[in-house]
């Protein structure tokens, strides 16, 4: 099958497929004499796995690790679980942050009658004036490993070269 057919079969655009190949998330497929990529059913399976993982919000690196773990069928699946649970935990932080923003914005929006002039708009005043803790201070996470994981995120990650 061609790249277009693979795209149809998986719901992933052709340009994204080529991108995945470039970053070595998909292996290089065979080619026709004219240079067209030729895909096989195992590519469909792998790409579907990738798409579903991405739809769940997992990062490309997490997907990469899941794929590598999945190929080692005898290994314990603890690391798989941890990847997923860490991602849930990250989501919790993200959701909480957005909810805080939302309520700060709601307070702001409620303070304006909406019918006045810009010169008397409470929204603009609040943005212009001195600190009143628009968003509250952020409390730190109770979870054990959270700080550690977040710190290790900062670690410089070995970069891959393009065109190996």
Partner DNA sequence: GCTAGACCTTGTAGCGACTACAGGGTCAAG
Partner DNA sequence: CTTGACCCTGTAGTCGCTACAAGGTCTAGC
Q: Binding residues for DNA, per CB under 7 A? A: 2-5, 13-16, 18-19, 32-37, 54, 59-61, 157, 159
Three-state DSSP at 106 gives helix
Closest to 67 (Cα-Cα) out of 42, 90, 91, 85? 42
Smallest distance from the beta carbon of 61 to a copy of itself, in angstroms?
16
Q: How far apart are CA 10 and CA 8, in angstroms?
A: 6
From the list a copy of itself, Zn ion, DNA, none, partner contacted by residue 135 (C-beta under 5 to 8 A by kind): a copy of itself
Cα 55 from chain centroid? 9
Residue 110: both structure tokens together:
């409620």
* Cβ atoms of residues 89 and 81 within 8 Å: no
CA 60 – CA 50 distance, rounded (Å): 8
- Cα–Cα distance list, 133 to 106, 108, 161 (Å): 14, 12, 44
Closest contact distance (angstroms) between CB of 131 and a copy of itself is 8
- Which of the 8 DSSP states describes residue 138? P
Report what 144 binds from a copy of itself, Zn ion, DNA, none; CB cut-off 5-8 Å by kind: none
Per-residue binding string, Zn ion, 62-101, x by CB under 5 A, is: ---------------x--x---------------------
Q: Is 110 in the site for Zn ion (CB under 5 A)?
A: no
Q: How far is the CB of 115 from a copy of itself (least distance, A)?
A: 7
Cα–Cα separations (whole angstroms), residue 46 to 38, 68, 71, 139: 15, 11, 11, 40
Among 14, 67, 69, 112, binds Zn ion (CB under 5 A): 112
Q: Which residues make up the interface to a copy of itself (CB under 8 A)?
A: 45, 48-49, 52-53, 55-57, 66, 69-70, 72-78, 80-81, 84-85, 87-88, 91-92, 94-95, 98-99, 101-102, 104-106, 108-109, 112, 114-121, 123-124, 126-128, 134-135
């Amino acid at each position: 099958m061609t790249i277009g057919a693979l795209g149809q079969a998986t719901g992933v655009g052709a340009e994204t497929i080529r991108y995945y190949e470039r970053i070595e998330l998909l292996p290089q497929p065979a080619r026709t004499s004219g240079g067209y990529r030729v895909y096989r059913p195992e590519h469909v399976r792998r790409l579907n796995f990738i798409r579903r993982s991405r739809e769940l919000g997992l990062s490309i690196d997490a997907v990469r690790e899941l794929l590598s773990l999945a190929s080692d069928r005898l290994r314990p699946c603890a690391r798989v679980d941890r990847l997923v649970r860490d991602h849930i935990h990250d989501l919790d932080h993200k959701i909480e942050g957005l909810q805080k923003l939302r309520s700060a914005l709601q307070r702001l929006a409620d303070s304006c009658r909406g019918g006045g002039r810009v010169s008397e708009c409470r929204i603009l005043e609040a943005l212009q004036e001195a600190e009143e803790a628009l968003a509250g201070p952020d409390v730190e996470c109770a979870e054990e490993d959270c700080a550690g994981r977040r710190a290790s995120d900062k670690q410089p990650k070995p970069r891959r070269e393009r065109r190996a």
